[in-house]
Structure 1
Amino acid sequence: MRPEPQADSPAFVASARSSRSTAWRDLVCVLALTVLAALVCMRFEAGELTYSLTRRFERFQLDEIPPTLVVLATGLAWFAWRRYRESQRELLHRRALEAKAASLLAENRRLASESIGAQENERRHLARELHDELGQYLNAIALDAGRIRDLSAHDQARSEPEVHRLALAVMQSASTVYRQIGGMIRRLRPIGLDEFGLPSALEHCVESWRERLPQASFTLTVDGDFSNLADVVNITLYRLVQEGLTNVSKFAQNSRVEIYLVRTSDNTNNTRASRGEIVVTMTDDGPGVDLTKPRAGLGLIGMRERVEALGGEFHVASQPDGGFLFCARVPVQAGLPDPTDPSALAELAKSEK
């Protein structure tokens, strides 16, 4: 997890000290000017001079102006002090946001770099499997098929056992190739997501983890209608659960895992499209983590980026020996065209054709 920028970091402390020193310097200048003005007024007897000039206008009560000016000056000083404090708070808040933006930018660059590296590693792995595994078995199929062809041209009675053995070898090689291709397809696209929908794909994913981690307990609860969702929403929700189960296999192999997938609807408005959100929650009673400490992994960061890219919210709660929980909220309409936008609907109809 990424730690939030703190306002008590050295950069903010130095900035605050610089601002305070500037304020004290300005205050000293104001006091010095005030003392200098008082000395000048005493030297030239400004009060008596003012009184002599205004005594003929006594009926206008001009001699009451000095106390009024004192009250005005006090009020302006109080107002200026308040504005100064507010500007300092706004300045610190702005610098905190700038620091946070810089941190997020650096994190996004790191995430993009790691994503490119992961993509290249996956491509390298697939290329190696295609060359080493599939190429080997396809070559064996070709050799066995050629041997069957040659044997079939000779005495069939004498070559029948050998043909049978070679036919079994071809079947085994083809079955191995099929399993290898199935594994590659599963990594590239969740099984059953397009044909049977999100709940079935998640059930298949959870079932595979039940086989891998028999010492753990998995519970999947689905509530609501998950049809007519955008493909990006289906993929995001599936990847969230998949990444959560991967974390369980790493840190909480003996825990009890509960997964909740709920769709809420809001039909208060009279639009044809049903609004609402999809909430996916995963909890386990494993060892947990200290979220206040920086983490080197990018799993949670990637999950948060996926959800926030759809306009959703992602929350994590955990503590040492206290289990782990994440909750993601994704709008139902995420990834779908706006029903009030004719151009978006026309584009969708064109893509469906």
Structure 2
Amino acid sequence: MSSDPSTPSSLQRPPPHSTVWRDLAWVLGLTVLAAVLGALFNVNELAYRWTRGFERFQLDELPETLCVLATGLAWFAWRRYRETQRELSRRRALEEQAEQLLADNRRLANQALQAQEHERRYLARELHDELGQYLNAIALDAARIRDLASGREPEVHRVTLGLIQSANHVYRQIGGMIRRLRPIGLDEFGLPSALEHCVDGWRERLPEASFSLTVEGDFAGLSDALTITLYRLVQEGLTNVSKFARSARVEVFMVRAPREAPPGQPEQPVGSRQPIDEIVVTMADDGPGFDLSRPRSGLGLIGMRERVEALGGEFHMASEPGNGFLFCARIPANAPANAASQAGLAEPVN
């Protein structure tokens, strides 16, 4: 049964007390109708005529007994109704308490993730500014010693070559750490360029797989929480591909486009339809897939869902054994400020 989408849900369903009065009106109406019919057709006299042959069973006393029974059943129903109302009120209070506790837990978790992201950003900056510069200085000094010892001190020349190689190796490792802590190009070149760089990196690591990235729309002006969440979604999806579908065909699609506002939102007048920016991220692969009903040991998918829902979005998955895996995330581009400030910003858990 469908309802008019332009009508708020509070106007579609009558309140519970209105059904009580309606049912009571039906009972009173049927009672009056029975009284009228009984007076017209002399039902009591007919009943006496039909039952006077069974006087020894005292059937003529049944009306009073049935009246007491009806009264008792009415009292019993009223008591059960009151108990049901109290139980519903208790359950409603427990549900509200559970929702409040869940919101508090999610807020605390998001604040911890936000602090973690700030710490990662600080560590990435320190690794780049401090250790990176010192490693460059070490490599330059070692190259100078190598040039001075060339031809005169073979052992010193050999040691300096090893020192330069070690410094370059550590510098590359630090670069990898910085990329994991903070995506390269995300702040300087924007989200599409950072995603292209991320996908190119996975192309080199998984030569047997094929990757397709499509980005449509303008992603400038998004909050930092939303930007990093979108990047982490794609990053975690590619990480899952590297674990379970190393030779699959992977398609990544991200679009920002206006959509019609859902009716009945408090920030809009009833019946109005204003365009709202929405970002949709979809990733699909033709790998082995898995059974979604079975519990999984990893926390990556749970973290993806939490980050999306923290920004007021929706996260859906579809997969069957042998039929690949697909996830779709829908996030409003103008997420509320409080949700954006609390959004999960952590690196995906592998």
| TM-score calculated relative to the size of structure 2 | 0.56
Counterparts of 1:268-287 in structure 2 under 5 Å?
Answer: 275-287=276-288
Partner of 2:252: 259
1:191 and 2:184 correspond:
yes
Partner of 1:289: 290
Give the 3-state SS of the residue equivalent to 2:208 in structure 1.
coil
Give the 3-state SS of the residue equivalent to 2:251 in structure 1.
strand
Deviations 1:37-91 (A, max 9, x none): xxxxxxxxxxxxxxxxxxxxxxxxxxx9997665443223223334445655776
Give the 3-state SS of the residue equivalent to 1:276 in structure 2.
strand
Letter in 1 for 2:78: F
Rounded Cα–Cα distance in structure 2 between residues aligned with 1:311 and 1:301? 16
Q: Could you tell me whether the CA contact under 8 Å between 2:255 and 2:279 is conserved in 1? A: yes
Counterparts of 1:126-141 in structure 2 under 5 Å?
Answer: 139-141=138-140
Partner of 1:17: none
- Please report the RMSD computed on the Cα atoms of aligned residues, expressed in angstroms: 5.4
Q: Could you tell me whether the CA contact under 8 Å between 1:287 and 1:320 is conserved in 2? A: yes
Partner of 1:300: 301
Letter in 1 for 2:241: V
The structure showing larger relative contact order (alpha-carbon pairs under 8 Å, at least 6 residues apart) is 2
Shift of 1:311: 1.7
1:76 and 2:75 correspond:
yes
Rounded Cα–Cα distance in structure 2 between residues aligned with 1:311 and 1:324? 24
Rounded Cα–Cα distance in structure 2 between residues aligned with 1:115 and 1:332? 19
Shift of 1:184: 2.6
Partner of 1:20: none
Q: Could you tell me whether the CA contact under 8 Å between 1:138 and 1:173 is conserved in 2? A: no
Letter in 1 for 2:328: C
Instruction: Report the CA distance shift for 1:244/1:140 in structure 2 as closer, same or farther (over 3 A).
Output: same
Q: Could you tell me whether the CA contact under 8 Å between 2:139 and 2:168 is conserved in 1? A: no
Letter in 1 for 2:72: A
1:230 and 2:231 correspond:
no
Q: Could you tell me whether the CA contact under 8 Å between 2:196 and 2:213 is conserved in 1? A: yes
Q: Could you tell me whether the CA contact under 8 Å between 1:215 and 1:253 is conserved in 2? A: yes
Counterparts of 1:54-69 in structure 2 under 5 Å?
Answer: none
1:327 and 2:328 correspond:
yes
Shift of 1:293: 2.3
Letter in 1 for 2:77: W
Rounded Cα–Cα distance in structure 2 between residues aligned with 1:178 and 1:100? 48
Shift of 1:315: 1.8
Q: Could you tell me whether the CA contact under 8 Å between 1:280 and 1:328 is conserved in 2? A: yes
Instruction: Report the CA distance shift for 1:329/1:286 in structure 2 as closer, same or farther (over 3 A).
Output: same
Give the 3-state SS of the residue equivalent to 1:296 in structure 2.
coil
Structure 1 gap segments, 5+ residues each? 1-63, 152-157, 339-343, 345-353
Partner of 1:219: 212
Partner of 1:51: none
Letter in 1 for 2:73: T
Give the 3-state SS of the residue equivalent to 2:293 in structure 1.
coil
Q: Could you tell me whether the CA contact under 8 Å between 2:138 and 2:167 is conserved in 1? A: no
Instruction: Report the CA distance shift for 1:113/1:201 in structure 2 as closer, same or farther (over 3 A).
Output: closer
Give the 3-state SS of the residue equivalent to 1:194 in structure 2.
coil
Letter in 2 for 1:323: G
Partner of 1:244: 237
Rounded Cα–Cα distance in structure 2 between residues aligned with 1:258 and 1:194? 25
Deviations 1:298-328 (A, max 9, x none): 1112111211221212222223223212111
Q: Could you tell me whether the CA contact under 8 Å between 2:145 and 2:160 is conserved in 1? A: no
Give the 3-state SS of the residue equivalent to 1:259 in structure 2.
strand
Rounded Cα–Cα distance in structure 2 between residues aligned with 1:120 and 1:186? 14
Instruction: Report the CA distance shift for 1:113/1:234 in structure 2 as closer, same or farther (over 3 A).
Output: closer
Deviations 1:186-230 (A, max 9, x none): 112112212221112111111111111111121112222211111
